[in-house]
């Protein structure tokens, strides 16, 4: 399983859905405020789990973060995500250095987005299976002809190995 921070959630379709994805309510809420909010519905539909760490693991994360001097740079959301990864044994998907440092102390595995081959140049592209109309955001049903809209992704070439 992968635990996603809000930046990772924004990668939407580039995420490896088959590995099992989880995040916290607070990370979801951060994305809900932005333009990528509609991706969340798709991710939830595709199996994204909303989990909450237990209260006991929060102080363990804070202690580790204090040890590496990163506590002041971590938000409450960051701490909860670390706690969730700690409890579930999941791999944390984050590009945040302070979270990565703290994860190292806790023995939590993490990966950056680039290591996963996830780049933000990928854009949502949904295509209607009926009239082939394209949509920039995922929709369940084509508003024009009523057919199922399939979501695919479009990768921009030459950016992946950067
Ligand atoms: Zn259509």
pLDDT, tens digit, 9 for 90 and up, residues 17-44: 889 999 999 999 999 888 888 888 889 9
Q: How far is the CA of 126 from the centre of ligand 1 (A)?
A: 11
Distances (CA, A) of 97 to 61, 70, 101, 110, 132: 15, 9, 6, 11, 42
Q: How far is the CA of 32 from the centre of ligand 1 (A)?
A: 27
Residues 98, 145 within the same domain: no
Residues 67, 133 within the same domain: no
Q: How far is the CA of 123 from the centre of ligand 1 (A)?
A: 20
Q: How far is the CA of 131 from the centre of ligand 1 (A)?
A: 4
Looking at the structure of the chain, the number of domains it has is: 2
In a domain, 56, yes or no: yes
Beta-bridge mates of residue 3: 22, 92
Which CATH number goes with the domain that contains 106? Answer: 3.40.50.1010
Q: What is the pLDDT of residues 75-126, one digit of tens each?
A: 999 999 999 999 999 999 999 989 999 999 999 999 998 877 666 544 456 7
Residues 93, 139 within the same domain: no
Is the whole-model pTM more than 0.75?
no
In a domain, 162, yes or no: no
Domain assignment of residue 129, given as a range: 123-154
């Amino acid at each position: 399983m992968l635990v996603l921070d809000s930046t990772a959630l924004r990668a939407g379709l580039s995420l490896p859905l088959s590995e099992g994805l989880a995040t916290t309510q607070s990370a979801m809420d951060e994305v809900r405020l932005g333009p990528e909010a509609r991706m969340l519905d798709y991710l939830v539909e595709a199996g994204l789990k909303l989990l909450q760490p237990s209260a006991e693991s929060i102080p363990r994360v804070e202690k580790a973060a204090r040890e590496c001097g990163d506590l002041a740079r971590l938000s409450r959301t960051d701490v909860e995500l670390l706690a969730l990864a700690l409890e579930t044994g999941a791999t944390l998907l984050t590009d945040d250095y302070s979270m990565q440092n703290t994860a190292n102390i806790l023995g939590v595995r993490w990966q950056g987005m680039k290591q996963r081959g996830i780049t933000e140049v990928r854009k949502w592209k949904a295509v209607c299976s009926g009239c082939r109309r394209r949509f920039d955001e995922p929709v369940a049903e084509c508003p024009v002809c009523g057919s199922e809209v399939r979501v695919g992704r479009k990768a921009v070439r030459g950016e992946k190995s950067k």
